[in-house]
């Protein structure tokens, strides 16, 4: 069998682990199948596609991955609000403030990205939950586009029609339209001038609370891992997330330095939780896919059980 030969050529099957990446079903640019092939070429043997708020790409990712020996865990990344982190952020802001004054409002939610693993597409209770988040996303993007029009930057939303219908739409898509319309030079400028928090076309997100999302996912048998806790969260946030009952922490992430990876790993080990690893890969134009440094053996806790069940 050709695929088997290809997969077993040399010695053992690829052992690399990547439990966080995005396809064009959310804000990535590759089809799930292309992403799966790329991962396999880079030495990944175990992977989860974790598009934002949708499991729509999982079947294609698994089908194509399976042809090349890739074992696939279903996954999704859900942006949540975490009220329990508000005091920590307020303390961090107070410590930073030196009279210059901040632009953030203390009542904006602190966002935690929750990676949910192990829930198959089609599970009604979870799909309904994801659909409600996509509806909120869709509404927000439509309102931001209306605001841009009021500000003198009307956009042709035609290219987003399908995305608006599915709800897999967000600020990056508006940013690309602003660039294509010639209002800004690049996506970065679109955010800095118009779409970033506090800028003229920005609107707050409506988000599910982490505690509720976690309870729902775990109640259905899923595993909830806090994504990149060292990226934007205030210092000490990981401890709060552990107290809130997450099953694991994404220790290895491109935004984490070595000391952070180690700290998160130790925190997981002390609490019997899963330390996870992800590339958060979105787009080959933003950089080559890096060969993963972690393997299944680096992951403990409930997530490891899910990985072992894949065979």
Q: By the criterion CB under 5 A, which residues form the site for Zn ion?
A: 77, 113, 227, 280
The CB-of-228 to Zn ion minimum distance in angstroms stands at 6
The residue number with the shortest CB distance to Zn ion is 113
Which residue in the block uniquely carries the two structure tokens 């409506």? 206
Long-range contacts of residues 190-196, Cβ cutoff 8 Å, at least 24 apart: 194/148, 194/151, 194/153, 195/144, 195/171
For the beta carbon of residue 74, count every other beta carbon within 10 angstroms.
Answer: 21
The CB-of-94 to Zn ion minimum distance in angstroms stands at 26
Q: CA-to-CA distance for 9 and 85, rounded, in angstroms?
A: 49
Q: At what angle do helices 210-219 and 124-150 cross, to 10 degrees?
A: 150
Closest to Zn ion by CB, 145 vs 260, is 260
The CB-of-75 to Zn ion minimum distance in angstroms stands at 10
Give the single-character DSSP code of 29: S
The CB-of-34 to Zn ion minimum distance in angstroms stands at 18
CB 278 within 8 A of CB 16: no
Q: Which residues contact 274 (CB under 8 A, 6 or more apart)?
A: 223, 225, 247, 248, 249, 268, 299, 300, 301, 302, 303, 304
The CB-of-19 to Zn ion minimum distance in angstroms stands at 11
Closest to Zn ion by CB, 82 vs 227, is 227
Closest to Zn ion by CB, 36 vs 227, is 227
Which residue in the block uniquely carries the two structure tokens 């219908």? 165
Q: Cα 62 to chain center, whole Å?
A: 18
The CB-of-102 to Zn ion minimum distance in angstroms stands at 23
Closest to Zn ion by CB, 133 vs 153, is 133
Closest to Zn ion by CB, 52 vs 68, is 52
Three-class secondary structure of residue 124 per DSSP: helix
Closest to Zn ion by CB, 62 vs 282, is 282
């Amino acid at each position: 069998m050709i695929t088997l030969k290809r997969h077993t050529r040399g010695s053992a099957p690829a052992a690399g682990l990547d439990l966080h990446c995005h396809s064009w079903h959310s804000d990535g640019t590759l089809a799930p199948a292309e992403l799966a092939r790329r991962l396999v070429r880079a030495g990944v043997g175990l992977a989860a596609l974790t598009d934002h708020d949708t499991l729509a790409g999982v079947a294609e990712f698994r089908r194509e991955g399976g042809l090349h020996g890739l074992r696939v865990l279903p996954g999704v990344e859900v942006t949540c609000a975490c009220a329990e982190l508000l005091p920590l952020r307020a303390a961090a802001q107070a410590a930073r403030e030196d009279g210059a004054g901040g632009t953030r409002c203390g009542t904006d939610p602190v966002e935690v990205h929750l990676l949910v693993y192990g829930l198959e597409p089609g599970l009604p209770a979870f799909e309904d939950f994801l659909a409600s988040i996509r509806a909120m996303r869709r509404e927000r993007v439509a309102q931001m586009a209306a605001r841009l029009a009021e500000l003198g930057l009307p956009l042709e939303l035609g290219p987003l029609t399908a995305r608006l219908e599915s709800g897999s739409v967000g600020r990056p898509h508006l940013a690309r339209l602003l660039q294509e319309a010639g209002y800004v030079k690049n996506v970065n400028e679109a955010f800095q001038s118009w779409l970033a928090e506090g800028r003229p076309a920005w609107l707050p997100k409506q988000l599910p609370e982490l505690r509720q999302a976690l309870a729902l996912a775990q109640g259905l048998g899923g595993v909830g891992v806090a994504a990149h806790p060292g990226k934007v969260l205030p210092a000490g946030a990981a401890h709060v997330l552990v107290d809130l009952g997450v099953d694991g922490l994404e220790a290895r992430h491109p935004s984490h330095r070595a000391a952070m990876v180690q700290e998160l790993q130790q925190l997981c080990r002390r609490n019997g939780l899963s330390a996870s690893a992800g590339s958060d890969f979105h787009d080959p134009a933003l950089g080559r896919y890096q060969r993963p440094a972690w393997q299944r053996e680096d992951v403990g806790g409930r997530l490891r059980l899910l990985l072992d069940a894949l065979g």
